[in-house]
Amino acid sequence: MFQLSEQSLQIQDLARSFARDAVLPGAAERDLSKKYPAELVGQLGEMGFMGMFVPEEYGGFGLSILDYVLALEEISYADASLGVVMSVNNSLASSPIINFGTEAQKQKYLPKMASAEWIGCYALTEPSAGSDAAAQKTKVTVAENGDYILNGTKMWITNGPQADVAVVYASMDPEARHKAVCAFIVETASPGFKVGKIEPKLGLSSSQTAELIFEDMRVPKENLLGVEREGFKVAMGTLDGGRIGIAAQSLGIAQRAFDLGLAYAKERVAFGRPISSKQAIQWMLADMATRIEAARLLTWKAATLKDKGERASQACSMAKLYASECANFCADKALQIHGGYGYSKEYEVERLYRDARITTLYEGTSEIQRLVIAKSLIAD
């Protein structure tokens, strides 16, 4: 049984109030217009939610990963698009700099990212490197002065069009796969960087996802993140935290879907009685509530293990797998409870149904999570 601290409860309450008062009212309009929520992102930065576990000496709040999970669920409850912007900046862009960066890198980048003055992205995925992340084709060569030259293309990069800084992975020898991958901190204002196609997506419409193109882009040697040819360790270590973030986002979607389904079931009358009196509807609600509770406990456990510095890859994958599938289940059942109305864009469950679908795909598909879990079981 988890007992949240007073500080954690205060953070949760702050995030919940902001989400429901400032974020939720405009979520439907942003979904339709596909407008990036720049003002809300700035407000998240002012509140400390864009750099939650960035240490205080680098401009963050130095909070726990559990605190981050609590806040991210509340933001995603109101708008999963805003939630993923927050998740990427915290889990995927700031985290590797915290864990693998030099002191100079931390001082230069983390304060700006924590305040949302600069937005971060995580450039790992390529046209031929999705689940097989070791198959990096983006090439890095070393210039005469020791700087690095990047050439290649990334795709499906969340925050790509808005990013001021990107954690980018490239290979010194693509044939060597994970043994030749390097990680870099890239400033997107540098020559040779270009945002390509912005993807038209099924959901998360106000969060922009883009192709990133590197053409003879020079990266200063001091922007190598970690050790040369050991970037794959940076990538895999970072994804554990990213998966906790997507689990929290999934929880927000699932909880919102349940709340809307329950409210509608109590209001909607059919055959002279509220449909909540029907066993078929009751069983849907019972299954939704049970899965949400289980997903939340798995997510909190993974976050707590990470906070303690314990081995957490299995727990992170379990949380991400179960919470994402829970989000899809709950969105589906909430739409079913709404009947034909649920299929209309006038009802919020239609957006939740679309937003939920990506959660079993990014940060590692459900199949990859099962592979990670199985390998850890066999190894033990």
Catalytic (active-site) positions: 363
Take residue 128 and report the two structure tokens written for it.
Answer: 């031929």
Burial of 229: CB neighbours in 10 Å, binned 0-12, 13-18, 19+ = middle
Q: Which residue type is seen at 285?
A: L
d(CA 146, CA 137): 21
φ, ψ of residue 209 in degrees (nearest 5) = -125, 130
φ, ψ of residue 154 in degrees (nearest 5) = -110, 160
d(CA 134, CA 149): 19
User: What is the sign, positive or negative, of the torsion defined by CA atoms of 202, 204, 207, 210?
Assistant: negative
d(CA 348, CA 291): 21
DSSP one-letter code for 190: S
The residues pairing with 213 across neighbouring beta strands, listed in sequence order, are: 153, 194
Contact 287, 329 (CB under 8 A): yes
The residues pairing with 187 across neighbouring beta strands, listed in sequence order, are: 165
Q: In 3-state terms, what secondary structure has residue 8? A: helix
Q: Which of 105, 327, 325, 317 is nearest to 221 (CA)?
A: 105
